[in-house]
Amino acid sequence: MRPILMKGHERPLTFLKYNRDGDLLFSCAKDHTPTVWFADNGERLGTYRGHNGAVWSCDVSRDSMRLITGSADQTVKLWNVQTGAQLYTFNFGSPARSVDFSVGDKLAVITTDPFMELTSAIHVKRIARDPTEQTEESELVIKGPQGRINRAVWGPLNRTIVSAGEDAVIRIWDSETGKLLREADKESGHKKTITSLTKSADGSHFLTGSLDKSAKLWDTRSLTLIKTYVTERPVNAVAMSPLLDHVVLGGGQDASAVTTTDHRAGKFEAKFFDKILQEEIGGVKGHFGPINALAFNPDGKSFSSGGEDGYVRLHHFDPDYFNIKI
Amino acid sequence: MAIDKNEPSKLRWGELEEDDDLDFLLPPKEVIGPDENGIKKVIEYRFNDEGNKVKITTTTRVRKLAKARLSKRALERRNWDKFGDAVREDVGSRLTMVSTEEILLERPRAPEAKASGDGLAQLSKGGAVLMVCRTCGKKGDHWTSKCPYKDLAAPVESFVDKPAAAETSAAAPGAGKGAYVPPSMRANAERTTGSDMRRRNDENSVRVTNLSEDTREADLHELFRSFGAVTRVYVAMDQKTGTSRGFGFVNFVNREDAQRAINKLNGYGYDNLILRVEWATPRTN
């Protein structure tokens, strides 16, 4: 396949997100400006100007009208996707890391980093239909985990919130009361910081990637470990194909690999694994730096990866991808 | 001349159906639609200048970059105005480019290992000799394709460690030869004279680093032969791309020749790279 290279960001990429229809791709990077691209040919549609710090993550509403972004400048902003106008700004006491709309887009879960005296926290905010009615207040604030919470997402039917972070423990919280419902088993869980988390298309299971060079697949309701995928590099980003039983991991590099005489172009690869057999299917090379973000198009026919090199690479699969057999 | 009608005739479409009155008719155009590789064949028939029937087969590869089956909303979004930094987008901004390289989903080379997995496992239990990784040399617990260092040039210190390793474990490869261990140096070798001869030759081994991608054994041979008789040349090759991994070895018959080669060629510019030429195993002269 011939990937499309998009160099809209001058700094490393942090997050990629497709909208529900799969025609827009939102990219967040450390350069303060989230960008939206057309997902078929990679043409840039626009940028959202307003943040003063690295943008760590974003989410888009189901109708592709609203974008929410979380940034290191201690704000979370709501944007009009079409015009790029800022609709609302939530202020926090510390950098905001992960944002996620609930099913129905009425609520959003936001995590903030530990900063000075503040510990990390998970905030739930109500999102009004009409931005003029938007208020600052939180529906719920959950504190508890030590260290940064790298990702928090809504569970099935918005009943639960799943969080994962630096303490390598995945937690499931009740979204109404904030009570801790479940914690991942320490023995079988990750051993180092969990960097990324992605849900399956139906929400029944989710995948976490960690710096301990592995990714694990968990059941959302019971938080039991289903599968483990092992690589040679710390995992920075994970994605699941909505179409086939494939899992993609993107990662960083060992410190020992900093200098190398290999002059082949871009050898950081996104590794594909069979979801069920846990075996490596192959790798897609091309990035010049560690891969920090991965996202699958909801139709499963293309995926994009964002790297430390500031490039977003958009890959449309060849027909023989769909015929791969182990 | 008589056409032998008893021969099983190979059907040539031009000789079939020589109906004189229907000679001006041509078989219809056939289109064999795009198959799974996107190959489309169009077979047309025409009369050429001499009035003969001519069959023209056009083979094309139909390739779509992306399926443009957008929903109604998505089509509307396609027509949105640009905003933010994209407002002043000039056509030549080249923010979005199609990669010049074809990138494939590279399958790991496991299939053969899977088929004979058990056999290999048994062999490896028997003798660690067969399981030496070509890349990092010392580890005996993984194959070259599974080496954690497979994407780099082999760690340099592995060359230094090799002589030490060679003494400790006879299974380790001989100095500077990669995975190939000559029979005389394997675990159960007895003959000392034979190994002396070869070891001396291996002690005249010169390592050349910073080779260009295109360098092959023949190039090194040509370069080094002027210093003396060369018994063996080896250039480390990357199996996947077929290019040199940047280093290689040259074995001289005489030590003095090797020394002269080192003196002359270290720092020599070859194919726009500066060569580094030294003893394959560092000597404390």
Nearest to A193 by CA among A231, A167, A160: A167
In this structure, what token pair is assigned to residue B272?
């726009």
Residues pairing with A123 in the sheet:
A110, A141
Q: Taking CB atoms and an 8 Å cut-off, how many pairs form between chains A and B? A: 138
Tell me what pLDDT residue B47 has.
83
CB contact under 8 A, B36 and A319: yes
| ipTM score | 0.77
Report mean pLDDT in 10-residue bins for chain B, 285 residues.
47 57 73 80 84 83 62 85 79 75 76 42 44 61 66 47 40 52 65 56 85 86 88 88 87 88 88 88 58
Give the C-alpha separation, B221 to A69, whole Å: 61
CB contact under 8 A, A316 and B66: yes
Query: For a pLDDT cut of 70, what percent of chain A falls above it?
Result: 95
| pLDDT tens for each residue of B138-168 | 555 666 666 666 655 544 443 444 444 434 4
Cα A32 to its chain centre, rounded Å, is 17
Give the C-alpha separation, A29 to A17, whole Å: 12
CB-based contact, A20 to chain B, within 8 Å: no
Nearest to A129 by CA among A88, A181, A75: A88
The 3-class SS string of chain B reads: CCCCCCCCCCCCCCCCCCCCCCCCCCCCCEEECCCCCCEEEEEEEEECCCCCEEEEEEEEECCCCCCCCCCHHHHHHHCCCCEHHHCCCCHHHCCEEECCCCCCCECCCCHHHHHCHHHHHHHHHHCHHHHCCCCCCCCCCCCHHHCCCCCCCCCCHHHHHHHHHHHHCCCCCCCCCCCCCCHHHCCCCCCHHHHHHHHHHHHCEEEEECCCCCCCHHHHHHHHHHHCCEEEEEEEECCCCCCEEEEEEEEECCHHHHHHHHHHHCCCEECCEECEEEECCCCCC
C-beta atoms surrounding B21 within 10 Å:
6
CB-based contact, A241 to chain B, within 8 Å: no
In this structure, what token pair is assigned to residue B123?
């062999």
CB contact under 8 A, B102 and A265: no
CB contact under 8 A, B241 and A83: no
Give the C-alpha separation, B281 to B204, whole Å: 9
Residues of B in contact with A263 (CB under 8 A): 213
> How wide is the angle at C-alpha B282 spanned by C-alphas B281 and B285, nearest 5°?
130
Radius of gyration of chain A (CA): 18
The answer to whether the beta carbons of residues B96 and A43 sit under 8 Å apart is yes
Residues of B in contact with A4 (CB under 8 A): 96-99
Q: Which amino acid is at A87?
A: L
Cα B54 to its chain centre, rounded Å, is 42
Distance set, CA B191 to CA B166, B185, B206 (Å): 17, 9, 25
Q: Find the helix or strand (DSSP H, E) in which A24 lies.
A: strand A24-29
What contacts B166, CB < 8 A, 6 or more positions away?
B172, B173, B174, B175, B185
What chain A holds in terms of domains, given with CATH numbers, is 4-323 (2.130.10.10)
Angle between helices B217-224 and B255-265 (to 10 degrees): 100
Residues of A in contact with B89 (CB under 8 A): 44
Preferred mutation among B85, B105, B109, B157 to probe A, highest tally of A CBs within 10 A: B105
Please, which pLDDT band fits residue A90 given cuts at 50, 70 and 90? very high
| pLDDT tens for each residue of A3-13 | 999 998 999 99
Cα B276 to its chain centre, rounded Å, is 25
From the CA of A296, how many Å to the nearest CA of chain B? Answer: 15
Taken as a whole, chain B contains a residue count of: 285
CB contact under 8 A, B99 and A5: yes
CB-based contact, A322 to chain B, within 8 Å: no
Residues pairing with A26 in the sheet:
A17, A36
Nearest to B42 by CA among B31, B33, B56, B28: B31
Looking at every residue in chain A, the average pLDDT score rounds to 90
A25 or B49: which carries more pLDDT confidence? Answer: A25
Q: Which residue of chain A is at minimal alpha-carbon distance from B210?
A: A261
Give first-to-last CA distance, chain A, whole Å. 20
Q: In what order do the strands lie in the sheet with A86-91?
A: A55-60, A66-71, A75-80, A86-91
Among the partner-chain residues B80, B95, B97, the one whose CB lies closest to the CB of A82 is: B80
| pLDDT tens for each residue of A253-275 | 754 455 554 444 567 889 999 99
Residues of B in contact with A35 (CB under 8 A): 84-85
**Which string of DSSP letters, residue by residue, matches A231-288?**
-SS-EEEEEE-SSSSEEEEEE---GGGSS----SS--EEEEEEETTT--EEEEEEEES
CB contact under 8 A, A83 and B83: yes
Residue numbers of A between 201 and 240 with CB closer than 8 Å to B:
232
> How wide is the angle at C-alpha A205 spanned by C-alphas A326 and A127, nearest 5°?
135
What contacts A206, CB < 8 A, 6 or more positions away?
A153, A162, A197, A198, A199, A200, A217, A218, A220
Residues A207-236: b if buried by 16+ CB within 10 A, e if exposed: bbbbbbbbbbbbebbebebebebebbbbbb
CB contact under 8 A, A2 and B71: no
What chain B holds in terms of domains, given with CATH numbers, is 29-61 (no CATH), 202-279 (3.30.70.330)
What contacts A308, CB < 8 A, 6 or more positions away?
A12, A13, A252, A287, A288, A289, A290, A291, A292
CB contact under 8 A, B97 and A5: yes
Tell me what pLDDT residue B103 has.
82
A320 or A226: which carries more pLDDT confidence? Answer: A226
| pLDDT tens for each residue of A205-257 | 999 999 999 999 999 999 999 999 999 889 999 999 999 999 999 988 754 45
Residues of B in contact with A279 (CB under 8 A): 110
Tell me what pLDDT residue B9 has.
47
Nearest to B37 by CA among A16, A3, A320, A74: A320
CB-based contact, A135 to chain B, within 8 Å: no
User: From its phi and psi, is residue B17 left (phi > 0), alpha (psi between -120 and 50) or beta?
Assistant: left
Preferred mutation among A45, A65, A246 to probe B, highest tally of B CBs within 10 A: A45
Tell me what pLDDT residue A27 has.
95
Distance set, CA B195 to CA B129, B147, B189, B198, B202 (Å): 18, 30, 9, 5, 10
**A161 has a pLDDT exceeding 50:** yes
C-beta atoms surrounding B45 within 10 Å:
15
**A37 has a pLDDT exceeding 90:** yes
CB contact under 8 A, A44 and B89: yes
CB-based contact, A300 to chain B, within 8 Å: no
Residues of A in contact with B154 (CB under 8 A): none
From the CA of A5, how many Å to the nearest CA of chain B? Answer: 5
The answer to whether the beta carbons of residues B251 and B201 sit under 8 Å apart is yes
Tell me what pLDDT residue A200 has.
93
